[in-house]
Structure 1
């Protein structure tokens, strides 16, 4: 969340001082929460964790509203900035997802159901497809091979997303575990490939070996999100395996 608003602040024009100031305030807010969490790291008191979740939930809901405000300003042509609408929408979806997960955790909703597994994959497949589009957009057009690779990943994840949405509409029940196993395996293969592409791009950007408008922090950010998606897939896979034993 902190990095999202930092990236947005970089995209505003110099005269959009109010929006820049608000973004910087959110950077400070999430920075303070990060520091607070580092203090709580050794504490496992459920009430302490619940109260922390409430605090972070409120911050996530607030930053979601800020992002939607910015998106509205762009879509109504009230501002022109370097923050493309899909990027702002993308970050707002992640804020909404984060807030929803914190709320579920505090309500004790921990076990993933088949329907929830599919919906989680729908969410992250869309995120991965968006990332591929952003990378292709921000690379210099002269980096033709990398731009083509980004477009291929975008198409691949669009197809996986459509497939996941079809499966979501079919609403498979718990007895369709083999179907979900295949679904997760298929997604894993593509996410591993995309993660390695992102890692290569990040390393090249850091070494100043390719031409782009991508900050190293942004390249690392999208790499970490792909890595996080893989951890989620593995956790779902482990849950489904336990169901079969």
Structure 2
């Protein structure tokens, strides 16, 4: 069964280019012109991934992403003509799993689509396995690997798929220090490491959600000059 990808961009030429490359890879596509249409289409289509432009009329990509995350944790790759770090941080904070600046190489976009779908598939396969250590407990933090649920003091925490994968990886290797490159390769399942702050933004987002004080974290510790670990 072919994956179905939603392409949301108000520029029909960009949608055409992305659609052609996706269909050449055997993916099905559904298209939207703005964020409001994205939400409407999600009511009628089961999609496996969303490519979401930031600058769209009616409802922009950032606010659409927030609303999508209220419904589902399917992977979201955000596109934007803006390339400043603050724009990338805003995109990832809204719940996107990856971020690509325009103009972009369509082959790089396809590579990122494949990486997200591969990671999602591996996560689904793992959740269907019967494992002895399906639940990781660290003080008040509980990670249910089978159900993909995280809670702190019994309160369920909503994490994106990428955020869950990062936290699960570090929590299952307590005390091990992961540098940014290792985290990227382990979670995104890509050998090529992109030199940007994507991983750091996701770490910050996780801390904001699970820590009482993100500036003085209890769970995800920074090892200065090296990387991150969960104690």
Fold agreement, TM-score > 0.5: no
Bigger proportion of residues as strand: 2
**Is the radius of gyration larger for structure 1 or structure 2?**
1
Bigger proportion of residues as helix: 1
After TM superposition, the score normalised by the length of structure 2 is: 0.29
